[in-house]
Structure 1
Amino acid sequence: MRTYVLIPGGGAGPGYWSRLVPLLDGEVIALDLPTADPAAGVPEYADIAVEAVGDRQDVVVVAHSLGGLTAPLVAARVRARAIVLITAIVTKPGESGLEWWEATGHSALGIDSSDERAVFYNGVDPEGIAIGDAATRDQSFTPFEAVGQPWPNVHVRFLFCTEDRFFPIDFMRRVVDERLPHAETADVPAGHMPMLSHPKEVADFINQT
């Protein structure tokens, strides 16, 4: 049986995948990471993922947003068959998550994320927003300090969110073209939280991996 390991974005618990999980066609491990713990970063997140996977063989690593920092390390260690990235951060080897914002030009976009409802939850219905709120946690900056790892030699698929206000679509297309030129890509007409606004479309993309 295929196993999907879901790595959450920043400050998110496993609950925000709840609309997506029932639509996936295999076993699902939605990671519960110690996001608020400043002693835990990408290596610790990867350790948790690897332990959760155990000896499972047919593994697909799915990562959203900040989860892109952890995805390559997990995929290499569990010998994943593929990585699926959902509007995720893509670092170059040797580049930290802190450096990513300037290196990619995101900082120059001047995005004001103080209104989280408007920036992160556009297109999500009230029930979905409530699910996201219930899953929200504090997030330490420690994961951003980790140096980016080489991307393992596995198939990578990237789901662009065309209405994403935090990682705008033109910006993300350029980043992926430059950093993951061989990735298979697709679009979903969603904001930054497609697992809440368009779970079927996201599940279809993942299930086709």
Structure 2
Amino acid sequence: MSRFVLIPGAGGAAWYWHRVVAELESRGHEAVAVELPAADEKAGLPAYTDLVLDAIGDSGAGVAVVAQSMGGFTAPMVCARRPVDALMLVNAMVPLPGETAGAWWDATGSQEARAAAARAGGYPEEFDLATYFLEDVPPDLAATLMQHERPEAEVAFTQPCAIERWPDVRTCVLAGTDDRFFPYEFQRRIAKERLGVDAEPVPGGHLNALSHPRELAERLAACLDPVQGESGRSGTPGGGPRRAHR
């Protein structure tokens, strides 16, 4: 049995993970999604990190930290302070040491990649929730999600990812094949450039924890297996990948 600690993206709603939590628990794992004070201008990444560390606690079970979207800025800060068995990024932002989320967009070319994918796919380039986040989410879940949505405080976009190097932990990058916000090929490029990792395809769009929870849970569980999770590596951005020995 392993303990999965799941970090949401911007907005900080733990509810986002509820279908994956149920799927992981049905497989005999522990799973906890962390609620983050995303709208609090006095909080931000250090506070998020402390809350995730509290959720990990003193668990004796193998621990996997899972981060979605902007949660990718918090996850490495957590893993730099607490040894874990695996770090799993799901449609996530991959930061460099000291980078801010506000600077990440231009540094990675994410908006240009999103626009190019929209032109190729024949859907609007201008961002809206229905097109880029909710296109494959069941309508009832999309309506409930809107009840949990809240704005991300500006402070979180200005604080650096406070790590000196990428944590020495096996890292799996899971990229939604239908993600319109962070297109699949864009995620593959960033994973390779910044982590030396081959991103693994998983079904669904940016919010695939709601649209494809079973498939995502299966892949998360497999990432803990050093054989099945073969593409997981640990490494230092800019320094090339190393296979984690665990």
The verdict on a shared fold, with TM-score over 0.5 as the criterion, is yes
Displacement of 1:82 in angstroms is 0.5
Match of 1:44 in 2: 47
- Select the residue among 71, 95, 98 that pairs with 1:94: 98
2-structure distance, mates of 1:131, 1:207: 27
Count of aligned positions: 207
Q: How does 1:4-153 map to 2 (within 5 A)?
A: 4-24=4-24, 25-57=28-60, 58-109=62-113, 110=115, 111-113=125-127, 115-148=128-161, 149=163, 150-153=165-168
* Deviation of the 1:146 alpha carbon: 2.1
TM-score between the two structures when normalised by the length of structure 1: 0.93
Please state whether the residue corresponding to 1:130 is helix, strand or coil: helix
The percent identity for this pair of structures is 41
Distance in 1 of aligned mates of 2:111 and 2:175: 19
Letter in 1 for 2:155: T
Query: In the aligned structure 1, how far is the partner of 2:148 from the partner of 2:191?
Result: 28
Whether the aligned pair in 2 keeps the contact of 1:61 and 1:71 (CA below 8 Å) is yes
1:22-60 per-position Cα deviation (integer Å, ceiling 9, x unaligned): 111411121011000011111110011112221114210
Q: Which residue of structure 2 lines up, in the alignment, with residue 179 of structure 1?
A: 194
Task: Report if aligned partners of 2:53, 2:78 keep a CA contact under 8 Å in 1.
Answer: yes
Q: Which has the higher contact order (CA 8 A, sep 6+)?
A: 1
Q: 1:29, 1:77 → 2: CA distance?
A: 19
Q: Once structures 1 and 2 are overlaid, which stretch shifts more, 35-44 or 73-82?
A: 73-82
The gaps in structure 1 that reach 5 residues or longer are none
| Superposed displacement of residue 107, structure 1 | 3.4
Q: Which amino acid aligns with 1:106?
A: S
Does the CA contact (< 8 Å) of 1:63 and 1:86 recur in 2? Answer: yes
Partners of 2:136 and 2:205 within 8 A in 1: yes
* Maintained 8 Å contact 1:156/1:184: no
Residue in structure 2 matched with residue 189 of structure 1 by the alignment: 203
Q: For residues 187 and 152 of structure 2, what CA distance do their matches in structure 1 show? A: 23
For residues 12 and 126 of structure 2, the distance between their equivalents in structure 1, rounded to whole angstroms, comes to 20
Between stretches 192-201 and 45-54, larger displacement belongs to 45-54
Structure 2 distance, partners of 1:206, 1:37, is 30
Q: TM-score, normalised by structure 2?
A: 0.80
Aligned equivalents of 2:172 and 2:190: distance in 1? 14
* One of 154, 171, 184 as aligned partner of 1:169: 184
> Is this contact kept in 2: 1:60–1:81, CA < 8 A?
yes
State the shift of 1:184 in Å.
5.3
> Where do 4+ consecutive residues of structure 1 move more than 4 Å?
none
1:64 and 1:102, CA in 2 relative to 1: closer, same or farther beyond 3 A? same
Show structure 2 runs of 5+ residues with no match. 116-124, 225-246
Cα RMSD, aligned residues only:
1.5
